[in-house]
Amino acid sequence: MTSTVEPLLLGRSMGSDEGSLGFCSVMLVTTVLPGAPAHRILFDTGHAGRRRALIRELHRVGLTPGDIDAVVLSHSHWDHVQNVDLFPRARVLMHPDELVYAESPGPDDLGVPPWTSSLLSAARPHPVRPDEQVVAGVRVLHLPGHTAGSIGLVVEASDGLHVLTGDAVSTAFAMGARRCAAAHHDLRLSEESIDLVGATADVVWPGHDRAFRVADGRPAGYLVEPTSLVFRVRGRPASPDDLATSPRPAT
């Protein structure tokens, strides 16, 4: 059995005075069993503003949305779930507590608009439990705190255990500080979830950051160098003036 993790869309922690860009990590987990076809799992799907980029990245690795066997949604926030409808053939997996949470999110949680439950219902998600095996070498890890039913995946890779965390561990800084970016459900549980990831993982794939190694429960160095985004205005790379000024009114 061989399992690999490949980032399709990189997670980034970026915002502005008008809101977050919501660029979460979207990962492809591929497991090959002897004598069987590859089993492909997508972990989170990103938001609608990244649909073209997600399809492009699937094509880059020789896949289409129809080639994905399962979609695991780490939690119900808009930036992690909106593109789930691109994968009608896939089995969609969520923690049952998250489906309940999406109906009535925390009072400070604006990341779960009222339409979220309709989106998830249309995806016909299958409830999964802690430590449930998705496929050989890939199991579910319950990471509550950020939301009630936040989950990750533990992947048995050739270089150790890779843990995909969603926003339970949003960045390397969050793990190092033992502080969830936003504990909408329960602060104590969010800290315990960070500790669980630290005790489990050799490599962490966070929700809004690059993958990093773990030593003694703490970040121990990124696996890849940072990359830059290219912002465009009317089809050309944006200048500082473009980003600092409002668009001209239509004439």
Distance separating alpha carbons of residues 27 and 204, to the nearest angstrom: 12
> Looking at residue 94, what is its pLDDT?
98
Q: Which residues, at least 6 apart from 57, have a Cβ–Cβ distance to it below 8 Å?
A: 8, 9, 26
CA distance 92 to 190: 24
CATH 3.60.15.10 describes domain 2-244: yes
Going by pLDDT thresholds of 50, 70 and 90, the confidence category of residue 75 is very high
CA distance 153 to 156: 10
What pLDDT is stored for residue 242 in this prediction? 74
Instruction: Extract long-range pairs of 209-218: CB within 8 Å, 24+ residues apart.
Output: 209/11, 209/12, 209/13, 209/25, 209/170, 209/171, 209/172, 209/173, 210/10, 210/11, 210/172, 211/5, 211/7, 211/162, 212/172, 214/175, 218/175, 218/176
pLDDT of residue 2: 87
**pLDDT confidence bin for 231, thresholds 50/70/90:** confident
Overall size of the chain counted in residues: 251
3-state secondary structure (DSSP) of residue 42: strand
Report the pLDDT averaged over residues 78-94.
Answer: 97
Please answer whether residues 27 and 184 qualify as being in contact, where contact means their C-beta atoms are separated by less than 8 angstroms.
no
Q: What is the pLDDT of residues 148-197, one digit of tens each?
A: 999 999 999 999 999 999 999 999 999 999 999 999 999 999 999 999 99
The pTM score is: 0.94
Write phi, then psi, for 86 (nearest 5 degrees): -70, -10
Per-residue model confidence (pLDDT) at position 244: 73
How far is 57 from 50, CA to CA, in rounded Å? 10
pLDDT at site 246? 56
Could you tell me if 95 and 116 are in contact, meaning their C-beta atoms sit under 8 angstroms apart? no
Could you tell me the pLDDT band of residue 251, with boundaries at 50, 70 and 90? very low
What's the whole-number average pLDDT of the chain? 94
Question: Could you tell me the two tokens for 15?
Answer: 């915002």
Closest CA to 50 of 75, 76, 84: 84
Cα–Cα distance measured from residue 148 to residue 134, given in angstroms and rounded to the nearest whole number:
20
Q: Where in the chain are the domains? A: 2-244
